[in-house]
Structure 1
Amino acid sequence: MRVLLTGGAGFIGSHIALLLLERGYDVLIFDSFANSSSNVIKRIENFLDNKALKYKLRVINGDIRDKKILESIFSKCVKENKPIEVVIHLAGVKSVVESLTNPLYYWDVNVSGTLNLLLTMKEHQCYSLVFSSSATIYGLSSYVPILEEQKISPITPYGQTKVAVENLFYDLYKSNVNLWKICSLRYFNPVGAHPSGLIGEDPKGIPNNLFPFITQVAIGRQKTLSIYGDDWETKDGSGIRDYIHIIDLAEGHLSSIDYLNTSESCLEFINLGSGKGYSVFQIIRQFELSTGCRIPFSIESRRDGDVAVSYADISKAKRLLSWTPKRSLEQMCLDGWNWQMKNPNGYG
């Protein structure tokens, strides 16, 4: 089976690509490399060579907003008598803060880009899609664990673009319920890295997320970790979130493909998380215990839009996808630190 993996050179995409190749899929990575590195591809190829695995990998540099490139990719695959059978769509922009200052860019890339992809898929009779959505669409939900049926109320343009795409899926599916097969996966917080340390998370500039900030403090790239509030209504006063190992998340995508392959038609919105809540202080303690590194931190004011507790109900993923996260918080810390030690400057 040939898979088109948009955004396949990013943190999440690179881990999915490696698992797909190990499973024997024919993989086309489509990426603009605006927020990723071409070194990721070399790392994947080297890993597969070292493992003496048979694989087929092709990489296309392009922007999801360029419909002509998308059409040429699908057409070429048909001419090769190897059409694209399923798309995993990760390409997009994802900074919550940036989306507040540049919403037009976010709507253009995330919504217009997805529309281009869907139009091209329809033209070439490819109707199977796994989409990268986000738990940010739940907004300031105070009910935990968060179920897929809960109210959708994003508070940022980034979240609004994800909701817009999900609404587009609903309209598309409803227009022909016997045609499309779509899984929209609502990620919580993917962390860690591949156990080999060859691929991992390499954010541009100062990290926005907790885990890469911790590892950069541990390696000396950042001085101290900022904790936004120690007076939340939690056991230790710090905010609680759902963190999932990147390999568990990647495996969720392969399970989604398996589900689509056995379904006549479907539209499913599915949480992917650990199903557990970890506080900031709990994560710091576990990281220090697992690695022996001390993480200095400072307490800052709460940020607008934050909530005390947020973690997923993952019963739907377990039921439909036969998927369960396997890796512990300790493993997330160890693998994330292994990546950072072996790559102190990321892919640079």
Structure 2
Amino acid sequence: MNDNEKTEIFVTGGAGYVGSHSILELLKNGYSVVAVDNFSNSKPGKDQTMPESLKRVQCLAGKELTFYEVDLLNKDSLKQIFQKHTFSCVVHFAALKAVGESCRVPLDYYRNNVGGSVNLLEVMQEFNVKRIVFSSSATVYGVPLYLPIDETHPVGSTCTNPYGRTKYFIEEILKDVSKSEKGWSVILLRYFNPVGAHESGIIGEDPHGVPNNLMPYISQVAVGRLKELMVFGNDYDTVDGTGVRDFIHVMDLAEGHVSAVKEILTAEFKGCTAYNLGTGKGYSVLEVIKAFEDACSVKIPYIIVDRRDGDVDSIYADVSLAEKCLGWKSKRSLKQMCEDTWRWQSKNPIGFRT
């Protein structure tokens, strides 16, 4: 047994898109993983004991993980898990994450995202687990004051949607907790727009209902599940009028989480630090559509519709701090993001369902 195998990592929201890919990388790096999920955006496997995404992760990793079906709003269930295990670190993904939906049902987002995080932190405190890597978001920056955005950019004051505000509030809670009590180590990973899938095509993004994000929407149009892509607005102040985003391959993002776990487990790391995870380059919606068509030889029909509430013109990252401090940088191109997305979707036209 290597040292990492003795290190148990507790992962919330582990069956989701970024969570499942990150767990795969944690397992490949030798860590032991205990994951929880409430199936709000994942599907159970055939035997109903574990999400299908995590069953496939085990196959890819050639290693088992421990799974519990738990909602973070159920504090007693969380405590029972902490009584059974000795965790070195928590990686916190669990959250509702649709920008548009958060504008329609904000209370659901505050209750789930903020309330669940407070429960988690209280249980961590009770069991003296004081290291946490938090899955935050570039939405905490709100309307960009300058580009590329670095970690010193103001956060919170211009958040454009309740989802982003929940991430900002949780960041502030984590900062306050780390100041209030010695021994806490917190890494805030502000990542930009995850896309792509594992290169095998065995796991990928499988949202419930109509996708809220661009790439799964494109791929579902390409595979015939949806008739056409809706492009939300073409009057932004960008190169072609459509929104510009920093798209990052989910496997680069997963490797970034492993880098953060390695860093937070060192004796030297203390306090609370934020890192951007992105590519440092922005692509417009129309540029992504063209790249997908070129990479996959599939025509994507689309229509222009009204803007969505809460969307900004352009946002992309300055990622130099993560490279300097975590030794991490993205490696995969937009072409590979599109190819891997298509491999996943074409192999799994209805996602994890059979």
The answer to whether TM tops 0.5 is yes
Deviation of 1:161 after TM superposition, in Å, equals: 1.2
Task: Name whichever of 42-51 and 163-172 sits farther off.
Answer: 42-51
Say if 2:347 is the partner of 1:335.
no
Contact 1:134 1:187 (C-alpha < 8 Å) held by counterparts? yes
CA distance in 2, matches of 1:115, 1:149: 25
AA aligned to 1:315 is S
Partner of 1:144: 147
Per-residue CA distance 1:285-331 (angstroms, 9 max, x = gap): 11111110001111223334332211111111111111000100000
Q: 1:84 aligns with which of 82, 87, 96?
A: 87
Mapping of residues 280-295 of structure 1, within 5 Å: 280-295=285-300
Say if 2:67 is the partner of 1:66.
no
Contact 1:138 1:151 (C-alpha < 8 Å) held by counterparts? yes
Task: Name whichever of 84-93 and 297-306 sits farther off.
Answer: 297-306
Q: 1:118 aligns with which of 112, 117, 121?
A: 121
AA aligned to 1:91 is A
AA aligned to 2:209 is G
Q: Which runs of 5+ in 2 are unaligned?
A: 1-6
SS in 1 for 2:315: coil
AA aligned to 2:97 is K
SS in 2 for 1:226: strand
Say if 2:212 is the partner of 1:208.
yes
CA distance in 2, matches of 1:105, 1:49: 35
Instruction: Output the TM-score relative to the length of structure 1.
Output: 0.93
Q: Which runs of 5+ in 1 are unaligned?
A: 78-82
Q: In angstroms, what is the RMSD of aligned CA positions?
A: 1.6
Q: 2:303 aligns with which of 291, 298, 301?
A: 298
Task: Name whichever of 243-252 and 130-139 sits farther off.
Answer: 130-139
Distance of aligned partners of 1:316 and 1:330 in 2 relative to their CA distance in 1, 3 Å threshold: same
Task: Name whichever of 243-252 and 102-111 sits farther off.
Answer: 102-111
Deviation of 1:181 after TM superposition, in Å, equals: 0.7
Mapping of residues 191-340 of structure 1, within 5 Å: 191-262=195-266, 263-340=268-345
Distance of aligned partners of 1:237 and 1:155 in 2 relative to their CA distance in 1, 3 Å threshold: closer
Deviation of 1:75 after TM superposition, in Å, equals: 0.7
CA distance in 1, matches of 2:141, 2:112: 21
Aligned identity (percent) is: 46
Deviation of 1:230 after TM superposition, in Å, equals: 2.7
Deviation of 1:44 after TM superposition, in Å, equals: 4.2
Say if 2:32 is the partner of 1:26.
yes
Deviation of 1:106 after TM superposition, in Å, equals: 1.3
Contact 1:8 1:14 (C-alpha < 8 Å) held by counterparts? yes
AA aligned to 1:282 is E
SS in 2 for 1:4: strand
* Count of aligned pairs between the two proteins: 340
Contact 1:142 1:309 (C-alpha < 8 Å) held by counterparts? no
Partner of 2:4: none
CA distance in 2, matches of 1:35, 1:184: 23
Say if 2:17 is the partner of 1:11.
yes
SS in 2 for 1:193: coil
SS in 1 for 2:30: coil
User: Where do 4+ consecutive residues of structure 1 move more than 6 Å?
Assistant: none
Distance of aligned partners of 1:154 and 1:231 in 2 relative to their CA distance in 1, 3 Å threshold: closer
Partner of 2:3: none
Say if 2:143 is the partner of 1:135.
no
Deviation of 1:42 after TM superposition, in Å, equals: 4.4
Partner of 1:80: none
SS in 1 for 2:276: strand
CA distance in 2, matches of 1:235, 1:163: 29
CA distance in 1, matches of 2:16, 2:309: 28
CA distance in 2, matches of 1:237, 1:50: 41
CA distance in 2, matches of 1:214, 1:71: 41
AA aligned to 1:344 is P
CA distance in 2, matches of 1:116, 1:303: 32
AA aligned to 1:298 is I
SS in 1 for 2:22: helix
SS in 2 for 1:299: strand
